[in-house]
Amino acid sequence: MVLLVGVLVTVGTYLILSRNIIRVILGTAVLSHAVHLLILTVGGLKTGAVPLLSHSEGPFTDALPQALILTAIVISFATTAFLLVLAYRMYKTNKTDDISELRGISDE
């Protein structure tokens, strides 16, 4: 699991450092998956029974990391969607998808 997180972070970092906007956005998506797995891992993988009270008599698995990840996934979906739309609009108005051409403040 930890190795997987490491690989995902590596891939994500590589993608973020590239010049193409779409790659950068994909990179942020990959990174967010990496951190979700990280939350799951450090929260402790399956350490007990299913956390349903009537199902068994503990010890139960901690269900909180999954709740956190669920929230984080929703947020990262929203941000990624927004980023994609933004990138599309930017491509339409600025006629480029190259980050390095976005430097400086030129007149309109």
Partner 1 sequence: MSNIIVMPLIIPIITAVILVFLRENIVLQRIITLITMVFITGISILLLQLVQTEGILKLEFSGWVSPYGILFVADTFSVLMMLSANIVSTLCLIYAFSTIGFKYENMFFYTFVLFLIAGVNGSFLTGDIFNLFVCFEVMLLASYVLVALGGRKIQLRESLKYVLINVLASWIFLVALAYLYGTVKTLNMAHIAERVLEGNQDAMLTTVSILFLIVFSLKSGLLLFFWLPGSYSVPPTAVQALFAGLLTKVGIYALIRTFTLMFPLNPDVTHTLIGIMAGITIIAGCMGALSGKDVYTIATYNVVIGVGFILIGLAVGTEAAISGAIFYLIHDMVAKALLFLLIGTMVYLTGETIVKRMSGLIQIYPLFGWIFFVVLLALTGVPPLSGFVGKILIGQGAIEVGAYVLLALGFASSIIVLYSLLRIFLASFFGETTVSLEDRKPIPRGAMVSFILFTIAIVYIGIGAESLMVYIEDATRTLMNPSRYIEAILKG
Residues found near partner 1 in the complex (CB under 8 A): 16, 21, 24, 28, 31-32, 35-36, 38-39, 41-44, 62, 64-65, 68, 71-72, 75, 78-79, 82-83, 86-87, 89-90, 93-94, 102, 105-106, 108
Backbone angles phi, psi at 18, to 5 degrees: -80, 175
Query: Measured on CA atoms in the order 41, 84, 71, 50, is the torsion positive or negative?
Result: negative
Quick one: the chain helix, strand, coil %, rounded to 5? 65, 5, 30
CB of 54 to partner 1, least distance (A): 19
Overall size of the chain counted in residues: 108
Helix or strand or coil: residue 60?
Answer: strand
Q: Which is nearer to partner 1, 50 or 78 (CB)?
A: 78
H or E element at residue 87: helix 64-94
CB of 4 to partner 1, least distance (A): 14
Q: Which is nearer to partner 1, 42 or 49 (CB)?
A: 42
CB of 92 to partner 1, least distance (A): 9
